[in-house]
Amino acid sequence: MPELDPTFLALPLDRLSEVALDTMASIPGLNYGDLRVHRDLIQGIHVREGDLIALTDSEPSGFGVRLIVEGSFGFAASSELSEQGVSAAVKSAAQMARALRPLLPEQVALAPEPAHQQSWVGPCEQNPFAVPAAEKVALMIEATSAALSAGAKFSEFYCLQVQENRFFSSTEGSRIVQQRVRMYPTFEVGLLDEEGSGLVETMRSSARPVGRGFEYFRGHDFKSEAPRLVELLREKLLAPSVQAGPHDLVIDPSNLWLVIHESVAHGTELDRALGYEANFAGTTFATPDRVGTLQYGSSLMHVTGDRLEPFGLATVGFDDEGVAAQSWDIIRDGVLVGYQLNRQMANRFQLPRSNGCAFADGWAHVPLQRMPNVSLQPDPRQDTTLDDLLGQVEDGIYIVGDKSWSIDQQRYNFQFTGQRFYRIQKGRLAGQLRDVAYQSRTPDFWGRMSAIGGPSSWRLEGAMNCGKGQPEQVAPVSHGCPPALFRQVNVLNTRNEGRS
């Protein structure tokens, strides 16, 4: 188990907490208060072909205080990690709460949560900030050079690394210290069809963002992957264009995770369902009155919310309201049975406890209800493989990798495309296709899921940049799933669509 960063522990965390709680205790009408101290280490490295384009390091640090005074929220934040700074912020948050109180239609209340006095550190075998930058740059240039040697027209590599440290204390008696590391190595190659159509195609590495250390980067072997990506691009440039119309689809986890993210994970955020996000991120067709009755998809569909999944980007010990991490059902047997929620939403929904979905992307932002790791569970009855799924298709398409997407404000009508597409004929892959996108409505699409992979085919994918809120915040989140078979989904030819 990795240790907490001593440079973070050297900050006057307990003294700042003591001052914050003492100042809160002097505020008339205080219902609740908490202090969050954040310190992040962030490094981004950008390599193009054989050159280092940029190497940036930053270390944002500060704190936020959140109060409920006479049933009204107040928030203030500062980068001044001092007793004076904390005391002033608490008083400012109290003033904000009183100013907002006349505007609120109802008083704010939080679902109960026991006090926690714990530390939590996410899994990390090799902290990326302990690896010399020169070594990382050399590995990245090695990969881009290998792509160029294999015939790529251009090659680019960007690697984002984050170590996040947080301290939380509250008037309820919690004292929590946390640390987690996450990485996103993005390696992309491109090729130009100079003799034929003149088309440019790009393809990304199969590496995904993960809640792990630099051991993930080392274990992927980007240098060996590079020539394979170039070869796949050559095949794609020569591939025939897809015939539009209904097709059976086998969708790989590298593509299906994004459909889960957009059509299920965002669609089952309770604040969205109650209208809190309508002005910016939209609403959802999965409204609270339909819990227990809405048929979201086929009976094979079992979706969980999870803050515990190893290496998940949304995995924590505790959320930003001091709620212990949990796992729970969102969709069971294809039916909507639950939501993602924070303490305010849990109380509003008359539930006994939050499931731990509060997150702020930095010290200067108030925690919002943000999605956990939302995952489609594999078939528990049998360990169905990808080959087994392909074998059930007489004529169809296998889709790999994510690319562009579009979905409406109610998370109902959508369109997705991918990195690579393969024709399936008589249960076997029969070469690549081009210009594929698929479209559907959320319950229709998930209702067409006729088979899913077993436990051995389940993979964790995800994104570092899920946006929400005003002002907008960005959160990391993972989505696990197996490959799945969908019958007769409408497929578009994107090249023809672009001409019309």
Q: Is the pLDDT of residue 483 over 90?
A: yes
How do the domains of the chain map onto residue ranges? 6-238, 245-499
DSSP 8-state code for residue 324 = B
Residue with tokens 């008359």: 350
Q: Pairing state of beta strands 327-332 and 335-336?
A: antiparallel
Q: Between 199 and 175, where is the model more confident?
A: 175
Residue 329 confidence class, pLDDT cut points 50, 70, 90? very high
pLDDT value at residue 9: 97
Beta carbons of 125 and 133 less than 8 angstroms apart:
no
Q: Is the pLDDT of residue 283 over 70?
A: yes
Residue with tokens 């008696």: 173
Residue 457 confidence class, pLDDT cut points 50, 70, 90? very high
Residue 1 confidence class, pLDDT cut points 50, 70, 90? low
The overall average pLDDT reported for the chain is 96
List the beta bridge partners of residue 405.
Answer: 416
Fold of 6-238: PmbA/TldD fold (3.30.2290)
Cα distance between residue 96 and residue 76, in whole Å: 8
Q: Over the stretch 102-112, which tens digit does the pLDDT of each residue have?
A: 999 889 999 99
Cα distance between residue 6 and residue 352, in whole Å: 37
List the beta bridge partners of residue 481.
Answer: 459
Cα distance between residue 156 and residue 186, in whole Å: 8
DSSP 8-state code for residue 5 = P
Q: Is the pLDDT of residue 261 over 80?
A: yes
Residue 323 confidence class, pLDDT cut points 50, 70, 90? very high
Residue 280 confidence class, pLDDT cut points 50, 70, 90? confident
Task: Say which range, 42-56, 191-205, 270-284, 465-479, has the weakest mean pLDDT.
Answer: 191-205
Beta carbons of 74 and 93 less than 8 angstroms apart:
yes
Task: Say which range, 170-174, 304-308, 391-395, 496-500, has the weakest mean pLDDT.
Answer: 496-500
Cα distance between residue 195 and residue 153, in whole Å: 14
pLDDT value at residue 416: 98
Q: Over the stretch 113-138, which tens digit does the pLDDT of each residue have?
A: 999 999 999 999 999 999 999 999 99
Q: Percent of the chain having pLDDT more than 90?
A: 94
DSSP 8-state code for residue 455 = G
Cα distance between residue 271 and residue 25, in whole Å: 30
Q: Over the stretch 31-64, which tens digit does the pLDDT of each residue have?
A: 999 999 999 999 999 999 999 999 999 999 999 9
